[in-house]
A and B are shown apart, each in its own frame.
Chain A
């Protein structure tokens, strides 16, 4: 019964959101606004589920000695930030902001910066001229890379237009084809969900 109720709710709200898109009537606009508000409220509450799960998983994983230090750091962060925010607030020059700017931001930037290192190692390992197609791909990548650098002079005058051509024609047409395919895939999946044919999001097929 609970699944049937979910399917009915999905169908009704799916149809409602689809229909209101085509209307400028004040009632349609206010229905749209109300649903969007509820969407935001529901989203905020789902975070609680995540926090509870993180807490439970971390405590259970701490039984494993190897996992313990990582989980302790994770839990410390999870507890410390809200506590600091509740006591001193989140405006400038509060301990919360100090933690955000001096701990969280640098740590996240570090992980983001890893990308540059991984690009370097992946380029070394993966970009090989194994075939004619791979060699063409390699040449195109080299031209794009050079165009995004600034070597200056006549070199840039030649490389930049070639790179722009690669981006604007072969690369873009392939990208558009993929985007159209994805769009259609999204459309059919959404329809299946609204019509109740697709039920994986409920956890299964029954």
Chain B
């Protein structure tokens, strides 16, 4: 008997859909863990994040662009919009990079495919420049909407790369088929490239064409590491705890299914929810 069938007779409320009970329980557990790691002082104090290759290179990449008197180009890819968590993680990165480029008086270009991302990026960069004490160096035109069309965006960013020849390129966000076009063009102009995405298929392209690649959730962890924001670091810890729970669940489910298949013991199919 599945988990849902077990609980349906128990939870017969008009307002609550009993079929969604497993999702509800999982959500409550996840929320509790995130809240605990975020607000519990002891949890926050005992926590250190491992070094991720590429994070140290951020400083070098911006320094290189400053020395060469060339711009830094940051683009969040075509696949995401502002509600996508990857885009939000990339904004933390952007904030860190913008405060550095502001301090070093290095031009930061930010082309995007989404008007809302553009508006948020303008605010993030403006505030980062102000935080660095160089609000006057902020130029709104450097943050631009280019096209909502995938290959219109790819062509526009490609053109920008070949014309402005940035010394450092940050490809951090959600990318689709445009990833290799941008990364290869960046490679051909000799830019140091740091990439990170949640699109598993594009990771293989970035690994081949870029100097450093943040794989999946490393992007979320790295944004916390760079910003040094304790709440973001706490959520990285929450992710680890949840991963541990999922791992345990998988092991127990696999064992139960295997025992059920190999012996006469009825282990049920409670994991099928």
Is there any pair of Cβ atoms, one from A and one from B, under 8 angstroms apart in the complex?
yes
Q: Which residues of A contact B (CB under 8 A)?
A: 18, 21-25, 28, 46-51, 53-54, 56-57, 60-61, 66-67, 70, 74, 107-108, 111-112, 114-115, 118-119, 121-123, 125-127, 175, 178-182, 184-193, 195, 197-198, 200-206
Contact B209 A126 (CB under 8 A): yes
What sequence of 0s and 1s flags, for each residue 232-244 of chain B, a beta carbon within 8 Å of any chain A beta carbon?
1001101100110
Shortest 6 CB-CB distances between A and B: which pairs? A203-B123, A50-B115, A189-B85, A126-B208, A181-B217, A204-B127
Expressed in whole angstroms, the Cα–Cα distance for A119 and B231 within the complex equals 40
Closest to B126 in A: A203
Contact status of A66 and B184, CB under 8 A, knowing A23-B17, A192-B231: no
Which residues of chain A have C-beta atoms less than 8 A from B235's C-beta?
188-189, 191-192
Closest to A48 in B: B115
What sequence of 0s and 1s flags, for each residue 101-128 of chain B, a beta carbon within 8 Å of any chain A beta carbon?
0000000000000111011101110111
Which residues of chain A have C-beta atoms less than 8 A from B134's C-beta?
none
Contact A53 B145 (CB under 8 A): yes
Which residues of chain B have C-beta atoms less than 8 A from A25's C-beta?
14-15
Excluding A46-B114, A67-B163, A178-B200, 19 further A-B contacts by CB distance (< 8 Å) are: A49-B115, A53-B145, A108-B150, A118-B180, A178-B215, A182-B86, A182-B216, A184-B239, A185-B85, A187-B30, A188-B239, A189-B88, A189-B235, A200-B88, A200-B91, A202-B123, A203-B124, A203-B126, A204-B123
Contact B231 A198 (CB under 8 A): yes
Contact status of A181 and B151, CB under 8 A, knowing A115-B177, A122-B209: no
Q: Which residues of B contact A (CB under 8 A)?
A: 14-17, 20, 23-24, 27, 30-31, 34-35, 38, 82, 84-86, 88-89, 91-92, 95, 114-116, 118-120, 122-124, 126-128, 131, 141, 144-152, 154-156, 158-159, 163, 177, 180-181, 184, 198, 200, 203, 205, 208-209, 215-217, 219-221, 229, 231-232, 235-236, 238-239, 242-243, 246
Contact B119 A49 (CB under 8 A): yes
Closest to A109 in B: B151
Contact B145 A112 (CB under 8 A): no
Which residue of A60, A74, A184 is within 8 Å of B141 (Cβ)?
A: A60
Shortest C-beta distance, B176 to chain A (Å), equals 11
Q: Can you list 12 A-B contacts with CB-CB less than 8 angstroms, sorted by A residue number?
A: A49-B115, A49-B116, A57-B144, A70-B159, A118-B184, A122-B208, A175-B200, A181-B239, A182-B216, A188-B34, A200-B88, A204-B131
Most chain A CB inside 10 Å of its own CB: which residue of B184, B209, B243: B184
Which residues of chain A have C-beta atoms less than 8 A from B215's C-beta?
178
Expressed in whole angstroms, the Cα–Cα distance for A50 and B219 within the complex equals 27
Which residue of A111, A114, A193, A204 is within 8 Å of B124 (Cβ)?
A: A204
Query: Interface SS of chain A: helix, strand, loop or mixed?
Result: helix
